[in-house]
Amino acid sequence: MLRSFQIGKISGIPLYVHTTFFLLPAWVLLANFGTGPVNALFLMLGLAAVFTCVVLHELGHALMARVFGIGTENITLFPIGGVARLRSMSDKPFEEICIALAGPAVNLVLAAMLAPLAILNILLDVKVGNVLYSPELGLGVALGRLAFWLWSANVMLLLFNLLPCFPMDGGRVLRALLSLWKGQLRATEIAVRVGLVMAFFIACLAVPTLSPMPIILALFVLFAGQMELMALRQREVQRRAARFMQPVEAAITTEEPPPTNPPFSGIAWDNEYRVWVKWQNGQPVAYWG
Distinct helix (H) and strand (E) counts, the chain: 8, 7
> pLDDT at position 135, please?
60
Helices (H), 75-212: 93-123, 139-161, 169-182, 184-204, 206-209
> pLDDT at position 18, please?
94
> pLDDT at position 111, please?
96
* CA–centroid distance for 145 within its chain: 30
Burial zone of 150 (CB within 10 Å; 0-12 exposed, 13-18 middle, 19+ buried): buried
> pLDDT at position 148, please?
87
Average pLDDT per consecutive 10 residues, the chain (289 residues; last block may be shorter): 87 95 89 77 89 97 96 94 91 94 97 90 64 62 82 94 92 94 90 93 87 86 88 77 56 53 74 66 68
> pLDDT at position 255, please?
57
CA distances 181 to 33, 170, 184, 235, Å, are 54, 18, 9, 20
Please give the model's pTM, rounded to 2 decimal places.
Answer: 0.79
